[in-house]
Structure 1
Amino acid sequence: MTKQILVSYVLFYTSMIMAQNKDLYSIDKIENDVHKRNIGKVTFMNGNIPLEVYKETDFLDSYDLKLKSDLNIRVFMDNSVGNYLHQLAPDLPAEELLKKGNLQFSFYIDNQFIYKENIHYGCNFGSGGSKQTSTTFRVPLTNSKGEDWWSMYMWDRFKENGGQKVLTDGTHLLKIEIRPYVNLQEKIKTGNLIAEGKVKLVIKTPKLTRKQIEIQPIQANSGWEISSLNFDKKKIESLNTAIANYELKDITSIVVIHDNKLLLEEYFNDADRKTLHNTRSAGKSFASTLMGIAIEEGYIKSENQKLEEFYDLKKYANYQTKKDSIRIKDLLTMSSSFDGSDSDSNSLGNEENMYPTANWVKFALDLPVDKAKANGRQWDYFTAGVVLLGDILDKSVPEGLEKYADKKLFAPLNITSYKWQYTPQNVANTAGGLQMRSLDYAKYAQLYKNNGIWNGKQIVATEWISKTLTHQIQIPKRNNEFYGYLFWNKTILFEGKSYETFYCAGNGGNHFVIFKTLPLVVIITSKAFNKPYGHSQSNKIVQDYILPAVLKN
């Protein structure tokens, strides 16, 4: 009797385990012969070779890894990511499962572990790739054609976290291991190995020419008086070397203004003086400038005006009286009570939720308020709020925002070559993306250094410049960093001295830096969009190269 009970228990327990581990999704049928023969492998290929023509002879044993290359992987599995996750956490409902986990990539160089990353649950695997059903996928690790993939950012993070240090000249063995992971109550549970693969990477640092290293001569007709400052030219040559050999990546221009005169004008990676640079969110600061001009001219009473003076907020979703009292100033300082945070991917007001909508202003005004936020008290980066500032300006100034900006700001600075992006309502987009030449960005930054004066004329009121370049609000979790009116603030330490800066910043490391106590303005444009090194390397350029060169004495 006891034996029968034991056998029944074992059968019951086994059936329960099998029921728990039963696939959640019906996977795509594995019919490709290459796939069948290579299940469990990470294979390497040069570029994107479609699965239907991919052959074992395309698998790479060795690859010359250059500054610009197209190293791809194709992964062959025997199940889908969704089912692997279900095996790890069989009790999680399907709708939660794919928001709790994904794949874990581990990188080894010469059999030494270097880096591990649990990729974000939102990362997908290209067109047609489904985490529920697909059993194979292709992603690029490097790309020379300007593609934008999470996998390339992962590769960059691998290099930033030890990979670059060990990938010295010579031949190295790269191994990649892939496992599923699930985040269960902030505890990571990792599954068994799904796939792995190896390839030899051949690294050869290209020899630089003298032209790549030497300081670029300033051509005629810059529109600036040329500085005669005796700076450390060796330091700038070392900067150019770092950019040329890709230690500093994707930099397109560096302009330095010293004492209102042009000191350096350098272009890289196919850019030149005529290039219109997309500096992303650095363009937000122009909304602040135009708001100051509109207030000075009386089209807007003051930055303390409230949203209720411009919109009938009861017509929008999630109305609360607290929304009425949001001020222009709260939007300028990123401290409104809207439930919006670009740093939180789960935030209702995250900018990525705004862009697909048909009306960005309505998106912003429909947002609820955050009960935990008091207007003007808590900083939280909020792009949709800057869109509201643009809309307020557009409906308040003569002939709309775009013509007003050209007449009141760009024409006085003799900025004639520029390009706006637009909202779905065809209003100039103050959220970012205003493209200009580097020398014209320098004019804009120098205007603030000059307290709003250009060629003897007051373009922006001195009082507005002062309010803008003020510690309006502390930036959380950043020591001694503040925010003004759509300008950032931080202090740079150099050789034991502190130098305070206000600056515009945009995705990729685009920086317009204004030194408070030095006669110095620095413009850095970059295409390192979404790259982990974008902002840090721009900071490095200022601190490790520009300041030592200018302050050599």
Structure 2
Amino acid sequence: MLILYNFAAIYNFIFASSSKINQKMKIKSITTLFFALISFTLFSQNMADYTGGWEGKLNTPKVFNLKVAIENLDSENPVFKIYNNRNIVDQTFEKTSNPELKISFSGNHFFEGTVSENGKEINGFIKSGLLLYHIKLVKSKGNTFTGIWNPLMVDELKSLDFYLSVENGKGNDYQAYPFFGDNRFTGTWCSNFKKENDVISFNDFKTGLQFKGELFENGIRLEVLLGENLLTEIVLQKSTTDWNMGGFVSPKKASTLELTEMEKHIAKDSFPNTHSVLISKEGKLVYENYFHGYNENIPHDMRSASKSISSAIVGIAKDELLFATVEQSIFDFLPEKYQYLKDSLKSKIDIQSLLTMSSGLDADDYTRERTSLASENHYQPTGDWVKTVLEAPMMNTPNTEANYGSANPFLLGIAMDSVVSGPLELFMDQHLFQKLDVSNYIIQTDLQGTPYFGGGMYLTPKDMLKFGELYLAKGKWKGRRIVSKKWVANSFKEYRHLENVPDKNGYGYLWWHHTYQVNGESINSIEARGAGGQYIFVVPELKTVAVITSGNFRNGKTQQPELIFEKSILPYLKK
């Protein structure tokens, strides 16, 4: 305001000055001065002055709980909508004669789905960033299908606090990372930091959300966008105290199994960052509890525990006769542009070697990082993951030695994408998740938008338990065959031991083997495992499935669920 006032004063001075000044000279002087002042205003911000913590308040805890609707589906001009307390997307789309829908909106975002045979629901995905959010739209009055999309994965934020960390500011350079007072959201992966005049912008390539901030002398007005469409805006001020994140209490669920000692340890942080524990015995839920604000409606980041789900998808594709045998070479499934990478040794990389971590490829940097499991940083920063993985040197002959990593199942996802007739995610939904009555889940993709079989799915703990029960029941769910009995049996076999893990665990088709000791007795468990402490335990001899989810991503306690299972759960199951 001061600059505008000064400009007005100078304007009056010039026009009130001697009449000898030519009118054109007056205008030229004003124009030059105006742009000089504006340039000073817009380009004066040094991002070093904004480096540090900023904070503000969201206007509602449900601002990221978005409603999705498809209206008038039978008409010539059906409408696709996304809204919260404001109308975010409202557009017509072209309907085809087949039951599959694909609707592009807000730049690179799209919805794809299939209308059920009875016409009562639409199951599909919103593609945003690297994630495929499953959406179930249910038909209501007036031929309208509605559902909910939670881009932040949580059903409702427990805190209105919003934080922004501006880092490494210098001139126009900086990085910025948003945080929420509700730390159940797994965080943003921000990039593409730009500054133009007094506006900064960046995006979260995981969720697909965009951020645009206007810089002021003592604040930042930050917009959160879906493409170009505004979700909400927040006024931020410099933080003067430490950020307050988390600390929420979950309501206790009623259970038939008493695990009070375990609960005390979790409450005292002896088992830190434990988010959920669920146990079923003989198909009945006997224990269910959530901690630190988590609940049954929040899909949890499974990390590599979803590799075991990837194995199930391969088995279903095999059962559907989409490929002939697990002895088929990976090159049978790859486009022509990758065939030049085939040689006498790599041609022996088959589906089974990928399922058992035995391809022999050094694509996860084993020889350089023997202590690092699933070192995806070797190929994920590259533009062509398939090329980078297959260009890696061979450590040994396929199907001879197992080394745990994520490049092997990544190639499985590429192979399965090549054999299904439509989008791989729709195949996964129709042949596995719908049959398990699982609808609240998220699939992480690779850079090409293909489901990433190396890990990163989000399922609720209850749905993780369902998946474990499916395998305990040898491929059946509620009496219905989903995966063949033979595939489950082959998946649970111990093919060889993992050479690059401390316990040298036995390994099946993307399933871990482990033996626990309880009162001098050995109990064998077959497990899905993910970084940070995401476990599905399947114990056939006890007819038991257990799920533990955690948030130990940086403290070295990623295997803590094994201790909980052995010391605090198995002794009670053996009584």
TM superposition score category, shorter chain reference = 0.5 to 0.7
Cα distance, 1:480–1:387 mapped onto 2, change above 3 Å: closer
Alignment match, 1:239: 262
Check if 1:532 corresponds to 2:556.
yes
Query: Paired residue for 1:364?
Result: 389
**2:516/2:523 contact within 8 Å kept:** yes
Q: How does 1:80-479 map to 2 (within 5 A)?
A: 128=168, 216-217=253-254, 231=257, 233=258, 236-311=259-334, 315=338, 319-341=342-364, 346=369, 350-365=375-390, 367-370=391-394, 372-476=395-499
Cα displacement (A) at 1:359: 2.7
Deviation, 1:313, is 7.1
Closer, same or farther: CA 511–343 of 1 in aligned 2, 3 Å: farther
What is the CA–CA distance in structure 1 between the aligned matches of 2:441 and 2:503, rounded to whole Å? Answer: 36
Paired with 2:346 and 2:449, the residues of 1 have a C-alpha distance of 26
- Judge conservation of contact 1:480–1:491 (CA < 8 Å) in 2: no
Amino acid at match of 1:272: N
1:520 aligns with 2:544: yes
Structure 2 unaligned spans of 5+ = 1-47, 53-165, 170-180, 188-246
Corresponding residue for residue 551 of structure 1? 574
Give 3-state SS (helix, strand or coil) of 1:420's partner: strand
Contact map agreement 2:404 2:498 (CA 8 A) in 1: no
Indicate the percent of aligned positions where both proteins have the same amino acid. Answer: 27
SS at match of 1:262: strand
The structure-2 alpha-carbon separation of the partners of 1:215 and 1:546, relative to structure 1 and needing over 3 Å to count, comes to farther
Question: Quick one: distance in 2 between partners of 1:335 and 1:53?
Answer: 47
SS for the counterpart of 2:289 is strand
Per the alignment, in what secondary structure is the counterpart of residue 427 of structure 1?
Answer: coil
**Between Structure 1 and Structure 2, how many residues are aligned?**
342
Q: What is the identity, as a one-letter code, of the residue corresponding to 2:521?
A: K
2: CA distance, partners of 1:337 / 1:359: 20
> In structure 2, what is the Cα distance between the partners aligned to 1:399 and 1:493?
46
Between Structure 1 and Structure 2, the one with more helix by share is 1
Q: 1:485 aligns with which of 472, 490, 509?
A: 509
What CA distance in whole angstroms lies between the structure 1 residues aligned with 2:49 and 2:277? 43
Tell me the TM-score normalised to structure 2 length: 0.55
1:399 CA displacement: 1.1
Query: What is the rounded CA distance, in whole Å, between the counterparts of 1:354 and 1:403 in structure 2?
Result: 26
Moved over 6 A (4+): 50-54, 143-148
Could you tell me which residue of structure 2 aligns to residue 498 of structure 1? 522
Cα RMSD, aligned residues only? 3.1
For structure 1, the 5+ residue unaligned runs are 1-49, 55-125, 130-142, 149-207, 219-227
TM-fit CA distance, 1:320:
2.7
C-alpha separation in 2, matches of 1:340 and 1:402 = 25
In the superposition, relative to structure 1, how do residues 521 and 343 fare at CA in structure 2: closer, same or farther (>3 Å)?
farther
TM-superposed CA distance for 1:52, in Å, is 11
Q: Which has the higher strand share?
A: 2
Q: Against the structure 1 CA distance between its residues 144 and 393, is the aligned structure 2 distance closer, same or farther, given a 3 Å change threshold?
A: closer
8 A Cα contact 1:308 1:325, kept in partner: no
- State the Cα distance separating 1:510 from its structure 2 match: 0.6
Q: CA deviation at 1:286?
A: 1.2
Read off the aligned partner of 1:429 and give its amino acid letter.
Y
Give 3-state SS (helix, strand or coil) of 2:541's partner: coil
| CA displacement 1:111-156 (0-9 Å, x = unmatched) | xxxxxxxxxxxxxxx9549xxxxxxxxxxxxx997999xxxxxxxx
TM-score normalised to the size of structure 1?
0.57
Preserved contact between residue 333 and residue 419 of structure 2 (Cα < 8 Å): no
CA distance in 2, matches of 1:340, 1:258: 40
